[in-house]
Structure 1
Amino acid sequence: MKKHIIFFDGDCHMCNQTILFIMNHDPTVTFCFASLQSSLGEKLRTNHIIPQQYNSIVLFQNELIYTKSTAMLRIVKELTGPVKYAYVFIIVPKRIRDKVYDLRS
């Protein structure tokens, strides 16, 4: 099984709580984690033009980058429990999903 990397803001309490939630619902260990402030995170920022002030979760999956609501929905799709059914919201246009996502911060 191919692993996917979730990059997160290591200084963000909400991001850290989200990572703990993901870890608790990922029994097959599909995801690896790295802080956006780490050397791997800095490499990702440089190679994929992610702003330095970016404070959201970034998913690196199958050589593609996903951010904000798309990243979260693609992540929950792989988790166990009822949370995986949130993926149905992928049908909502990205600009609307991202506005809702941004309300969390």
Structure 2
Amino acid sequence: MTSIPAPIWLYDGVCVLCSGGVRHTLRHERDRSIRFVAIQSREGRELAEAHGIDPDEPDSFLFVENGEALAKSNGVLALVSHLNGPARLLLLGRALPKRWRDWLYDRVARNRYRLFGKKDSCDIPDPATRHRFTLPDSP
């Protein structure tokens, strides 16, 4: 029997918006299977570079599922499909053309630090969920 690898969310660990999204996901995910990989980690940098994202200036997160790396609005929709609650309303965005969704995604991504803030380091997850995270090595 072949096991299906857990979905991976490659996120910007110093972005306040992204970190808030991770906390929201932990509270609302349906099957508790997503792995969270900070782009600032070695694995995160490698994953970003393999999919054409500059890990030092990321313009998108990735959601990797079933061997497919989804970026920008497609990544958001894939992630949201794993959640319960009002966030699922974002799935209505599937009705919009991808270029419109990505245009909106790019506006938020480009201004995320200015609008939401930037931290000096990644959050440390609580012990109950720590096994699901790949964080940067401590200096």
State TM-score, norm by structure 1: 0.87
Looking at structure 2, the residues matched to 85 and 21 of structure 1 have their Cα atoms a distance apart, in angstroms, of 15
Looking at structure 1, the residues matched to 92 and 5 of structure 2 have their Cα atoms a distance apart, in angstroms, of 23
| Bigger proportion of residues as strand | 1
In structure 1, the residue matched to 2:88 is: 84
Query: Displacement, 1:57?
Result: 2.1
CA displacement, residues 60-91 of structure 1 (integer Å, 9 cap, x when unaligned): 11111111111111111111123223212113
Structure 1 vs Structure 2: percent identity of aligned residues? 28
Say if 2:17 is the partner of 1:8: no
User: Is contact 2:10–2:62 with CA below 8 Å preserved after alignment?
Assistant: yes
Query: Displacement, 1:50?
Result: 1.7
Name stretches of at least 5 consecutive residues in structure 1 with no aligned partner. Answer: none
In structure 1, the residue matched to 2:125 is: none
Query: Displacement, 1:2?
Result: 4.5
Name stretches of at least 5 consecutive residues in structure 2 with no aligned partner. Answer: 112-139
CA displacement, residues 31-79 of structure 1 (integer Å, 9 cap, x when unaligned): 1101011111112123222223114321111111111111111111111
In structure 2, the residue matched to 1:54 is: 58
CA RMSD of aligned residues (A): 1.7
For the pair shown, the structure with the greater C-alpha radius of gyration is 2
State TM-score, norm by structure 2: 0.68
Report 1 or 2 for greater relative contact order, CA contacts < 8 Å, sequence distance ≥ 6: 2
Between the two proteins, the alignment pairs up a number of residues equal to: 105
